[in-house]
Structures are given as structure tokens and as C-alpha cells.
Structure 1
Amino acid sequence: ELRAYSKVQLAPGERKEVRLSLPQRAFAFYDVSASDWYVEAGDFEVLVGASCEDIRLSATIHVTSTAVRKSVGGSSVPRYLTLSDEALLHLGVTVGPAERARPYSANTTFAEVSESGWVAFLVCRTVLLVARISARHGSAASGLGDRAVAMRLVEEGLRCMSLRSMQLMSGGAVSCATLDAVVAVLNGRGLRAGSAVVRRKLSSWLTRRHKYRETFSADMLKPATPFR
């Protein structure tokens, strides 16, 4: 824990002596039983450095204390209890059935679908590969310093993301129709999903073609501008 610090400005080659004081409070912790700060006798290691990753000096000092700490009464009951569903039922607590992960939806997380067959595995690995490339070459990774830490943060964040986030964060590259198709494939309706995508693509193409023909016909009906 940081207990003392000092900030100095040095010119190239300049040296300065810095004194850091460690009062009694620096070795104290808050005793909840006494509602006060308490210094426990014993050995403490003091580290001096430019940062937590750049330690220059270290020393061990012995601290004596005359304060008497109040004993905290023990308890035979553990802090955490693990009870079965039957035991909870006897206590009047009804445990509902486990939530089914399937059928999947746009709100399903990548962690829930990552172990549900080779199709889900392929989808998750593809998205994870794209995220890794972005983290490796993007500014977000360089801002975190350690690339390995950045990659781990990206992977863990991706596992908690929903499939809908893939569409929201794609910048338009993943359409709603594509998201619906991915969900359908994960639910084992690959043929239906493919047919739906083809129908949407065909409908979009026909709509653009119809608008183009209307615009072209309107331009053809305009009177020609005479040359001067």
C-alpha cells in the first residue's frame, strides 16, 4: 500500500535527497471491534521506488505496539453455507428450475453458446479472432500497456457480451438479418436461416432495381435541352 510519496523535478544529471516520513498511522489498520485504528506489533517491509513496478530500495523494520486489541468472539457457524435444494425447501425457500440456454436469442451471451456444438464454436472463434486482431493493432491495446493483459480483457469482455452486441458494434457490417440468421443457425435451423437471408437479399436487390428503373424512366421522359 502507498503510505508516503514525494514529487521532485530533476534536471539531467541532477540528484536530490528526498525524505519520506512514516507515522504511526502508516502501519495501522482499522479494527472493527474497537472502532479505531490499531497498530499491530511485528516486522514490516518498506519498499521505495519510482512506481510499484520499479522498486529501488527495500528494508525490514520492527514495530512495537502497546495497544491491546480486543478479541473477536468466534462463531461455530461458518461464513458460507452450501445447501442442497431439498434443504432449502425445508427452510421455505423454493428453488426454481435452471434457466434453459436454448433456444438461443439475440440476448444470449457468447459464453453460453461457445460450448454448444461445432457451429457455435466456429462462430465464437471467428468473432474472437476478429477481436484479437483489433486489440493487437488497435489503440485500445496500446493504451493498456501489457498486450497480454489487453488480450485477456478483450476475451473476457467478449464472453459476457450478447450476440446482439456483435450487430451493434459492427458499424453496419452485421445487419439485423445476418444476426437473425446466426441465431437461427445456432438453434439448428440452418436451412431456414439461409433461405431467409437469400429472400432478404433478393428483396433488397429487387427494390433497388425497381427504384433505378423508375429513376431511369423519369429521366427519359424529361424534354431534351436544346443546344444553343
Structure 2
Amino acid sequence: MASMPAEKPETRPYHHGDLRSALLAAAERTLRDKGTSASLSLRELARDIGVSHAAPGRHFKDKQALLNALALVGYDRMAETLEAADEPGLPLQDRLTTLARAYLRFAIDNAELLEVMYARKHEPDAAEQMTAAIDRTVGALERAVAAAQQRGEIVEGDPEHLTLVVGTALHGLASFAITGKFTTEAAMGSVAELVHHLMYGLTPR
């Protein structure tokens, strides 16, 4: 009996219009599992999703480009979270409380991604896209502050500066929750009080 020709080993051709998305998803999984961006490697990500080690180079020239893209994914996701939570018709204290809770939940659920987002936002090679992405997130708070100023609910001044004050307080609370100084429940439960003190200060009334 004539021997059958040996079958060629199955290959996995480069076919992904979605390779970029697959790499980003794999990078985020690795980030969550290992907790640091130092653990990311384009070669290892390629192996994990079953493409050649050279294939990621079609989308990311190096690890820094991957981190930039991962940060942009995070900012887009955060923006969607804040936009879904925002209720412009609310008085400022209620509106800020709603936005703050949405931000805090995002920060706790995406702690490792958030670290990459904040680490990458000042990178010169990502500046233009990152600025637009950050504007969608910080912009939600700044628009709330500016609208409240127009209604006379809060002091006049540079809305960008006032937004920085609010954002610093919220991120501080998120950091306490992420590092375990507060439980998630305690952090979420303190949002309304934090916003109240931001609105009215600590002086006796």
C-alpha cells in the first residue's frame, strides 16, 4: 500500500483584522494577573494568542506603543462609564456624587489599568491622542463644575483648577481603596461625605 503523504502541520495564518484588539485584551489580562506593566512582553503576548512573534509589530512598534494604546483603551472605557453615569440636570452636589461613585468604582475595578493610564498620559509620543482621551474623562467633571459656576452654585474661578481639586480628592479616596486602607464598601459609602466637604469645607456652619 502506497504511503500517504505526511500532513503538513497546521499553521495559524495571520488573518486578524482583530489582532490589535486581541493583543490589547491579552495585555490587560496579563496586567490584571501580574499587577504590573513590567510583566508585559509583545513576544509573550503573541505566543499567548497563537501568532508569530513578529505579528504584533504590525500594530505596535514596541512595548511603549502597546502601553500607550492600553492607556487609551482605559480612558475610553472610563469616559463611557462617566458619560453613562452623568446626570446634567442634577444640582452640583448630587451630580458630583454620582460622577464620583462612578469614577471610584471604575478605579477599584481597573486598578492596574488605571496605573498604566496615569503613567502614560505625559508621554510625548502619545500626547495628542492622550489629551483627547483625557478630555473626555476630566472633561465630564470640568463641565459639571463650569455649569455649576454659571448657575451660581459655587465660587468663580478657573474651572480647570477647581476640577483638579475635586479630581485630586476623588483619586485619593480611590487610592486608599485600591491599597486596602479602606474597604470598597467604606470607600463607596464615604463619597457623599467627601463631596459635601468639597462643596462646603470644614469650617463650622
Instruction: Give the TM-score range, shorter chain.
Output: under 0.3
TM-score (norm 1): 0.21
TM-score (norm: length of structure 2): 0.23
Greater relative CO (CA pairs within 8 A, separation 6+)? 2
- Larger of the two Rg values belongs to structure: 1
